[in-house]
Amino acid sequence: MRQRLFFSFLILHMLWPWAPALSQIPDSTQLADLNSKSQLRKSIETDERAWLAKAQQGDRHAQFWLGCAYEQGWLGKPNFLEALKWFRRSAELGGAYAQNAQNELGEMYENGEGVAQSESSAAKWYRKAAEHFPDFGGAGSGRNNLGLLYLNGEGAPKDYVKAYMWFKLAGDANPNLPYTKDHMTPKQILKAERLVAEWKRGHAVPQ
C-alpha cells in the first residue's frame, strides 16, 4: 500500500547537531543551541516578535520555522496564510536548506491549505525539493511525494517508471517502492533503474 514518508524535523539533527537551549532568538550560527523540536517551539512561543524580526530580515531558518509554527498552530490556531508566506520566502532564497520549505509548500498546495488546491503546483514544489543533494529531510520527502503524484496521475501524467524512480531516490527502504514494482514489467523496471543511475550521476551522488 502506498505511503507518505514523514521526515519532519529530521533536519534538526542533520543540519543542527548542537547543544543546550538559548535565552534569545538565534541567528544562523546561534541555532547550534537548539537541538530539539520542543526547544524550537518554546523559543518561538516565547519570543514570536524576535523570530518575526529575524524572518523579515531574510533569515531563511527563521522563515522556515515560523512557517512550521503557523502551519501547526504553535502560536494558537493554525494560520495557513502566514505559513504559506514564510515557507515561500524561505523556499525562494534557495540553497540546501530551501528543500524543507519547498516540500512544505508542495504539501500545502496539494492539500489546499491557505491556497487553492493545485496538484500541478504541488508537483512543481516537490520537484524543486527532490532535486537537492544532499538530502536534509525535505529532498527525501519531496521525492516520495512527487512519486505519489506520478503513481496516481495527479498533477503529473500517471507514470510508474517515474514513480519508481523517485521512490527509489527517496531510499531503498521506501515502502512505496515494492508496491509500484508489483505493477511494472521487467522492461519498465530496467528503464526506471537507468533513470535513477542517470540522476545520481548528474547530481554527483555516490553510487
Q: Which amino acid is at 188?
A: Q
Q: Is 51 exposed, middle or buried (0-12, 13-18, 19+ CB in 10 A)?
A: buried
Residue 2: the pLDDT is 46
Closest CA to 54 of 73, 43, 19: 43
pTM: 0.85
Give the separation between CA 61 and CA 55, rounded to whole angstroms.
8
The model's pLDDT over 1-30, given as tens digits with 9 standing for 90+, comes to: 345 554 444 444 333 322 223 334 444 444
Residue 3: the pLDDT is 53
The model's pLDDT over 83-122, given as tens digits with 9 standing for 90+, comes to: 999 999 999 998 888 999 999 999 999 999 999 999 999 9
DSSP 80-140: HHHHHHHHHHHHHT-STTHHHHHHHHHHHHHHTSSS---HHHHHHHHHHHHT-SS--SHHH
Residue 165: the pLDDT is 98
Give the separation between CA 62 and CA 27, rounded to whole angstroms.
8
What cell numbers appear for 155 in the block? 498533477
The model's pLDDT over 134-174, given as tens digits with 9 standing for 90+, comes to: 999 899 999 999 999 999 999 999 999 999 999 999 999 99
Closest CA to 105 of 134, 133, 130, 136: 130
Residue 37: the pLDDT is 77
| Residue 123 CB coordination number (10 Å) | 21
The model's pLDDT over 18-68, given as tens digits with 9 standing for 90+, comes to: 222 333 444 444 444 445 678 888 999 999 999 999 999 999 989 999 999
Give the separation between CA 155 and CA 172, rounded to whole angstroms.
24
Residue 5: the pLDDT is 52
